[in-house]
Amino acid sequence: MDKEIAINYFLTYGPKFLLAVLTLLVGLFIIKIFTKLLAKSMEKSKVDETLRGFIKSVSKVVLQLLLYITVASMIGVQMTSFIAVLGAAGLAVGLALQGSLSNFAGGVLILIFRPFNVGDFIEAQGHSGIVKDIQILYTVIHTLDNKKIVIPNGNLSNNSIVNYSANDKRRVDLLFGVGYESDKKKVKEIIEKIAKNHDKILQNPAPFIRLTEHGASSINFVTRLWCNTQDYWDVYFDMTEQVKIAFDKEGINIPYPQMDVHIKNK
């Protein structure tokens, strides 16, 4: 009798189960292909790069959820009961995954208010790097030494972010120290000449060079220069190198901390 029940059960539910498994496998494959085509389509349509990763992630999750519901109905799960169970499970999962829900909400806020976009150089949560992808729960950045950092969107949306790429111009602040015996006027002229001849330094606003401090072993000239954001590091390193070369050529001393020790013989 038990054998007959098992055979009848297999004949009744076996084909449904196999069909459901086949549907699940084919469905996951189709979703994978669809998300790839969606990404290519958004790229061709020139959809904002910041939106692409998020839309792709959300589409994948929604389609997979619909697929799982369809497969469940195919094996005989009553949809009313399934929805009730799903609602109860959703409540329990929601309580257990408050952090993930916060990250999802954070991702939505990031896309709405746009504190940064894909390709921007940002500093947040103790990390700095270029934004590579904004996903449904996380934002991925790559550091300058090519490390991958994954930051939860909830943390990003609720804390301060420094976006170095937000504005098209940035100011480069430099400090040059020279010996007390140096010709102050000449030092200023050298720095001004280099700044005016550099093709990546903007002349409006004009370069600002002033004596700012009488240090322990040097007098220091503050130098503030404006440039396009993408030229920041070129200007920073070029000025540091070229000013040193010019100072050496003109015999201007760049001192280093010194200590005079006087020994008294009793």
- Tens of each residue's pLDDT in the chain, 266 residues: 456 666 666 656 667 778 878 888 888 888 888 888 888 887 777 777 667 777 777 788 888 888 887 877 777 666 565 566 566 555 555 544 556 778 888 888 888 888 999 999 999 999 999 999 888 888 999 999 999 999 999 999 889 999 999 999 999 999 999 999 999 999 999 999 999 999 999 999 999 999 999 988 899 999 999 999 999 999 999 999 999 999 999 999 888 776 667 777 76
Q: What are the sequence ranges of the domains in the chain?
A: 2-96, 108-163, 169-250
3-state secondary structure of 61: helix
Q: Could you tell me the fold of the domain covering 2-96?
A: Helix Hairpins (1.10.287)
Secondary structure, 3-state, 173-236 = EEEEEECCCCCHHHHHHHHHHHHHHCCCEECCCCCEEEEEEECCCCEEEEEEEEEEHHHHHHHH
Helix locations, the chain, DSSP H: 2-44, 49-74, 79-96, 98-113, 153-157, 184-197, 232-250
Domain 108-163 top-level CATH class: mainly beta
Q: For 29, what's the count of Cα atoms within 13 Å in the CB-facing half-sphere?
A: 6
pTM of the model: 0.64
* Residue range 169-250 in CATH 3.30.465.10: no
Strand partners, 177: 220
Residue 178: which of 150, 148, 152, 213 has the closest Cα? 213
Question: In residues, how long is the chain?
Answer: 266
Element (H, E) at 114: none
Sign of CA dihedral 134, 138, 140, 141: positive
